[in-house]
A and B are shown apart, each in its own frame.
Chain A
Amino acid sequence: DTAVSQTPKYLVTQMGNDKSIKCEQNLGHDTMYWYKQDSKKFLKIMFSYNNKELIINETVPNRFSPKSPDKAHLNLHINSLELGDSAVYFCASSQDVGGAEKLFFGSGTQLSVL
């Protein structure tokens, strides 16, 4: 069983569209994250949720809206997609807040905005 699974793996869409990426973890972890990886492999945190509550929002445009229906799921909805949103988005989870605990990553969603 995949510990952290995210769908879809690839997402190609037009500018201005709205899209969602789903993430689920079956590890029983309390904390989930979204990271964005740009074309140069630079990885930057976007959001962190602990037990369904937002604890980190790193100056992400409000076109990005995370939703956590329960602590095993953290979905990412993006409105009015722009060219600069093209990247690989990684979901991750950890047992506790802070990242000092090991992070488990999904395999990524490659978003291409045309």
Chain B
Amino acid sequence: GNSVTQMEGPVTLSEEAFLTINCTYTATGYPSLFWYVQYPGEGLQLLLKATKADDKGSNKGFEATYRKETTSFHLEKGSVQVSDSAVYFCALTTPNDYKLSFGAGTTVTVRA
């Protein structure tokens, strides 16, 4: 089946620090990969996605590259802000799967 493993948190950073959250996956079939973000008290929102190998998804200064050879989709941001404090979820779906499978979520706290 499909599964996602992501870096355990919590992660605490200072403003302007570099952020990396590791995500690896196993999938039956060719997956599409996603990062979702959950701000405090809210539902999840799509942050970025990539649908084929070597694609790079990007949004709000965040980037992730679909690496088929290492089955990874690590999330990076070069300079985080306090407003980036949230829970980040890596997710995937495959054709005919009819659902997203999520990783366990990584809580990120950015301090001023």
Chain B 66-95 interface mask (CB, 8 Å, partner A; 1/0):
000000000000000000000101010101
Residues of A contacting B46 with CB < 8 Å?
Answer: 102-103
- Residues on B with C-beta less than 8 A from A48 are 98-99
Give the docked Cα–Cα distance between A33 and B95 (Å).
18
Of the listed residues B44, B91, B96, B97, the one surrounded by the most CB atoms of chain A closer than 10 A to its CB is B44
Instruction: Report the minimum CB–CB distance from A56 to chain B (whole Å).
Output: 6
Interface residues on A, range: 20 to 34
Residues of A65-114 at the interface with B, using a CB-CB cut-off of 8 Å, are: 90, 92, 97-100, 102-103, 105-108
Given contacts A56-B99, A100-B93, contact A41 B105 (CB under 8 A): yes
Candidate in A40, A43, A55, A105 with the most chain B CB atoms within 10 angstroms: A43
Given contacts A97-B98, A98-B98, A100-B32, contact A105 B44 (CB under 8 A): yes
The reply on B61 being an interface residue by CB < 8 A is no
Instruction: Tell me how far the C-beta of A39 lies from the nearest C-beta in chain B, rounded to whole angstroms.
Output: 11
Q: Is B104's beta carbon under 8 Å from chain A? A: yes
Question: Are A99 and B43 interface neighbours, CB within 8 A?
Answer: no
Closest residue of chain B to A45 (Cβ to Cβ) is B99
- Which residues of chain B are within 8 angstroms of A45 by Cβ–Cβ distance? 99-101
Nearest-Cβ distance from residue B4 to partner chain A, whole angstroms = 10
Cβ of B43 and Cβ of A107 under 8 Å apart? yes
Chain B contact residues, CB within 8 Å of chain A = 32, 36, 38, 41-46, 49, 51, 87, 89, 91, 93, 95-102, 104-105, 107
